Amino acid sequence: MSQLVPRRILPVLVLSQFAGTSLWFAVNAVMPDLQRAWGLNESAVGLLTSAVQLGFVVGTLVFALAMLADRFVPTRVFLICSLLGAAVNALVLVADGSLAWLLACRFGVGFLLAGIYPVGMKIAASWYRQGLGAAMGVLIGALVLGTALPHGLRALAGEAAGTGSWQLVIIGVSLLAAAGGVAMALLVPPNPDAARGAKITPRALGLIWSDRRLRASVFGYFGHMWELYAFIVLVPLICATRLAGQALSAASFAVIAAGFVGCVVGGMLVRRMGSARVAGAQLAISASCCVLAPVMLVAPAALFFAWLLVWGATVAGDSPQFSTLTAQNAPPAVVGSVLTFTNCIGFAISIVSIELFVRASTLWPLANVLPLLAAGPVLGLAMLRPLLVEKRG
């Protein structure tokens, strides 16, 4: 019962998830510094982000197939992966301009994030069987804040050091991730009533396509993933059309962190609207933001930043609802398998979109590139339609 859950559990889960997932885009936040110091080309940011995503896909499959979070205490898995992730992230400090070394570090961080993000969600699910939707909104919101944090640290490091020292950002993120793992291990005990996960079964792949309602939620998520991570990677480029230096980092942090608001507000609206309608509304708004890019890129500053904040809130705000819908629509016996395969395919899609849009942004103006992001949410809306037209019970 949710009322018996110790009050500290959710805050510690949120803060630990926030700390651990700050590893995700640590290098992206300091790419301008690395490009100046090491002469990395413009496409390097796409390659490095894709390396993290690929590492996460591989790590998710390995962790799920080996059932590591079931064979060992989940909070200890979270701790070990947080400490190792912090260490691998810090190895960037000795890369000395080697793109191959950076790619290896980013892949390693992505692999270890599979023991942080999904395992953190598993720990939350073990404690919050009732009201998981609301907890999911806050937890995925914490992931979004963690994603944005390195940009905020870069802005602060610039003020503190006077030079925008990228080393301070990398060290700060690593220390924070390690602290999050320690907090999880010390303050969140295992739930003695937690159910053991089922083995991963390939049968779930067939169900993703053959089950009408499951197909709607999963393919809606795929459309969302086409847009989400490509947008996050492109945010600094978009903000750079108006800002530079510390102001650019601060604006990038604010735009990405707006997704926390979208996740939390979406979770609050679920009881009134239902997860499908909340996800559909946010898909529609983010698609509109994509299409409006040519106009907004030349709009007055106030309108430009309002557009970006709305886009940042809605591009990420539907994430908790897709997780909830997929978990609700999958048969109970294979829900773990469905979620694992869905996440892996979704992150694989993000690798393709990141590579396409980062390379496109080096060849064509953003006004021509950004509207193409709308293909994802538009397809997602079309696939989600069976759930949108259902009458709520």
169-187 pLDDT per residue, tens: 999 999 999 999 999 999 9
Low-confidence stretches of the chain (pLDDT beneath 70): 1-3, 129-134, 158-164, 193-198, 391-393
pLDDT at 196: 66
Tokens describing residue 121:
């969600």
| CA neighbours closer than 13 Å in the CB half-sphere of residue 155 | 16
φ/ψ (deg, to 5) at 364: -130, 160
pLDDT at 314: 97
pLDDT at 197: 66
Q: Helices 319-329 and 275-291: crossing angle, nearest 10°?
A: 140
In whole angstroms, what is the distance from residue 96 CA to residue 270 CA? 48
pLDDT at 132: 61
CATH number of 199-393: 1.20.1250.20
pLDDT at 161: 45
Q: Helices 275-291 and 212-239: crossing angle, nearest 10°?
A: 40
pLDDT at 337: 83
Question: CA nearest 234: which of 142, 371, 92?
Answer: 371
CB atoms within 10 A of CB 168: 18
**3-class DSSP assignment, residue 5:** coil
In whole angstroms, what is the distance from residue 143 CA to residue 150 CA? 12
Q: pLDDT tens digits, residue range 42-85?
A: 889 999 999 999 999 999 999 988 888 778 888 999 999 999 99
pLDDT at 6: 79
pTM: 0.91
pLDDT at 194: 65
pLDDT at 146: 93
Tokens describing residue 24:
């995700």
Instruction: Answer yes or no: same fold for 7-189 and 199-393.
Output: yes
CATH number of 7-189: 1.20.1250.20
List for the chain the helix, strand, coil content (%; round to 5). 80, 0, 20
Domain ranges of the chain: 7-189, 199-393
pLDDT at 334: 80
pLDDT at 340: 86
